[in-house]
Structure 1
Amino acid sequence: MRQKSFLGLSPAGFHRISYTEWGDPAASRVIICCHGLTRNGRDFDALAAELAKEARVICPDIVGRGSSAWLRDPAHYGYPQYCADMSGLIARLDVAELDWVGTSMGGLIGMTLAAQAGTPIRRLVINDVGPFVPKAALLRIADYVGLDNRFSSLTAIQTHLKKVLAPFGPLTEAQWQHIVAYGHRRREDGTFGLAYDPAIAVNVKTAVQDWDLWAIWDRINVPTLVLRGADSDLLLPQTAEEMTRRGPCAKLVTWPGMGHAPALMAQDQIDVVKEWLTAN
């Protein structure tokens, strides 16, 4: 495991993008794992460690999250910037093709890149998001994203995250501790905050409406796997089923006992992703 970074560019200037690299740097197969809205690349540690047995795995922290820098102008937090930064990451990796695993926001970034002419994405895994995102789910997310919470201890953060991230499904105590370890930041006054810029919420809160992205989905022409939590309010069952009939005609796997979004930390979830990515 290696920690690396590169410079992205927004209209307000350069910013540093951090990423974790796993596996043999000379491996012929490259996989990018991209996290959700308020999370970071270390969510994929368990998955990356398994995939790295056969591939070079890259887990970026999208700008404003994890170890990456915060943008000078919060207005630039959005998919055009995220896609531009990930295009820069792909250029830095100097590869002709790669596989993409994306959870929620990371899935939408992957969808957008896969839909472009000449895309380098070979196989696509979309975790609990799709080309229709209902307003009700975005309202739920907008209620907690951007709250600049202060916590007195890591235990208090864990209590908070267990509530907010409960839809991730049943996690072990060790897995929760991992989420907390990489999901917090230390403030100058000694208290703790969450490991993202609260200003990422600026554009989220102004875009609370039904998102119709079917035009993007229908342009995707690479093998695609869609993962879904059976209780998800963000990827509705009818949307998931339609994704198997339109665009790339994805394979769908649904897991019971979880909502938005499966954490991809459990071995059965890791096995599904690995087996599908290495099928050919």
Structure 2
Amino acid sequence: MKKSQLILIVLGVVAVIGLYALPKVVVDNEAGTTAVEDPNAMPSSTPDVSELHENGLSSDNRSQADQLKSTLTSSEESTERIEAAKTLASIYQTEGMLDSAAYFLGEAVELNPSDLGLIEEAGKAYYEAFSFALDKTKVENMAEKTRIYLNQVLEKDSSRLDLKTKVAMTYVSSANPMQGITMMREILEADPQNEDGLFNMGILSMQSGQYKRAAERFEELVKYHPDNIQGQFYLAVSYFESKEKNKAKAQFEEVKKMTQDPMILESVQSYLDRL
């Protein structure tokens, strides 16, 4: 397992793309932005997501899910079908089957395409599935679905920077990463203290090996949002990778004061042992 993957798992980062899934993008240099696609990234076929986790549910939830699927396909009441789809999404979400959860929320939207709250919920679910997708085809599919739903909300309310950051991140992993970087910069121009924008730009700088620039982003993040444990941790990692050992040690010690989570503390200690 790559170190970047381990960090994401340890911190339980949900709405953040795994670093390994992103193209190598230079995000903050004055010369501009360039991207190099991962030569090892191979497209793979993705089965029908409605059948993807058919037998993957725990026995406690499987019978309930079967009943709900029957209701979804056979009930004549749209309200009942929508509730069945939403409950199915909740079951799959609980069991970590994020693409199936998103699929059923999408089914609910099909039944009530004017419900903007439901559209947003589906878009966020697809973004979460996108964040943890492991193969290229699934990443692309989940990203496209995220944009389809969240852009509908943004058309009604362009001030929703929280949703715009998610859309931006789906472009970063696409064939046109510059579009995502440009959107992220626009977000920070509109709101220089934007938590998601600063965090994601820091992550992207790390991914492209710009650790000093990443540290600057995370310094801004924790200045305005000191309780962001992920930002505090990544700031320490950025110092570590920038060979700023004293700063890294002090920052890792700061992270230790902020949490009692044994997995985070173990990860922090592994870095401290290397300093």
User: Which bin holds the TM-score, normalised by the shorter protein?
Assistant: under 0.3
Higher helix share: 2
TM-score (norm 1): 0.25
